Amino acid sequence: MNWYKSIHRLQIDVTSHCNARCGACMRNIDGGETRPGLMLSHFDLELWKRIASKDTRGWWIRSLVLNGNWGDPMMHPHLVEMLKYWTDHHPETNISIATNGSMRSTKFWADLATVLRNGSQHKVDFSIDGMEDTHQLYRRKTIFSKIVENVKSFTNANGVAQVVMTMFEHNKHQIEEVKELARELGAIRFKARQSHTDEMEIKDGNEHYNIKAYYPTTRAEHREIPADIEEYFSENDKPFSDLRDGYVFVNLNHYNLDSAKQFKIETKCPWKKHGEIQIDPWGVVWPCCHISMYGGGGASDSMSIALDFNQEAEDIDLINEGQQQNNLHKNSLSNILNNNWFNVTVDNAVRNADWDVCESNCGVCK
């Protein structure tokens, strides 16, 4: 099955702007200034409307994820309008958004909750990385009290919130406190997760300090096995019961809803298997967030194309080619997902385990 017929989940980065300077974020240098060369842009509003009303017309889009690979979604000046437009055209979609929550007015958060309730299901993940004395050590340039105020405004308007805490040595003693805070703020769920970076050095002006990750364990005899901590505050409030792994519904412009069937996707690529693609803030479609213009698990100081492909020239050419062929400003989403770049170049590379980035991030091996 080609990419076009398998897709029912979209992950879209709607902006490359962010108010925070998180220590491990690839968009800044050691928790300091934004990296030179990063193109600061908001997703084009008219392009968003075209994708919702035309490019995906008749498609059953199960999931829309607004994630912060390049910026915080809440920085987009037209976000509420965009989500209203999306739910008008795709009321079936489960919408999930990740944010640091330390921006905008309380009215914005109430308006956002109202719009999201027009869709099938939704949740917003708010990052609270400790209490007021520790939160800003990693989630730099955010304001703890403003986040608390915004979460409360969102949940008071019946928005579905989840509080997510990244665990470090400096905040591990506050896990229970943050969990209780999440409950008080009206979140449906609390999750304490591992940091994806073991250690980081913060260097920003006169600020210079180190942060070390904390990995709790489930079994004392196996200290190398970390475990996330999560708790639902109500069993009835669990968001999003996803389809079984490896099964997707085909696009409904090819099949009637009554005859739509589940298909097993035979591929090593977990993104294609789950029917998901990545669209970046500049309107370029990618098979995942790792294979992209600034992907590959990291970025160089110049923010040039930085892939974990050993920087081979042909791999750089591959991404340049994708950037040209997969541009939504020039092509429709269906044309992109039917092109040879996705269905020949990428599929062959995944099948043959040619790319180190696929192995390092998704375990795709020969």
- pLDDT by residue (tens digit) across 202-222? 999 999 999 999 988 765 555
Question: Rounded CA gap, 194 and 316, in Å?
Answer: 31
- pLDDT at res. 289: 86
CB count, 10 Å around CB of 364?
Answer: 21
Q: Tell me the domain boundaries of the chain.
A: 1-366
pLDDT at 211: 97
Determine which of 80-84, 248-252, 283-287 has the lowest per-residue pLDDT on average: 248-252
Residue 224 clears pLDDT 80, i.e. is over it: no
The whole-number pLDDT of residue 358 equals 84
pLDDT at 263: 57
**In the predicted structure, residue 57 carries a pLDDT above the cut 60:** yes
* Poorest-pLDDT segment among 172-181, 219-228, 271-280, 297-306: 297-306
pLDDT of residue 356: 79
Looking at residue 5, its pLDDT comes to 87
Q: What is the pLDDT of residue 331?
A: 97
pLDDT of residue 235: 60
Q: Is the pLDDT of residue 187 over 60?
A: yes
pLDDT of residue 317 exceeding 70, the answer is yes
Mean pLDDT value across residues 159-174: 96
Tell me the two tokens of residue 234. 């109500």
- The reported pLDDT for the residue numbered 312 is 52
Architecture of domain 1-366: Alpha-Beta Barrel (3.20)
C-alpha span between 290 and 266 (Å, rounded): 20
Report pLDDT digits (tens) over 118-138. Answer: 988 999 999 999 999 999 999
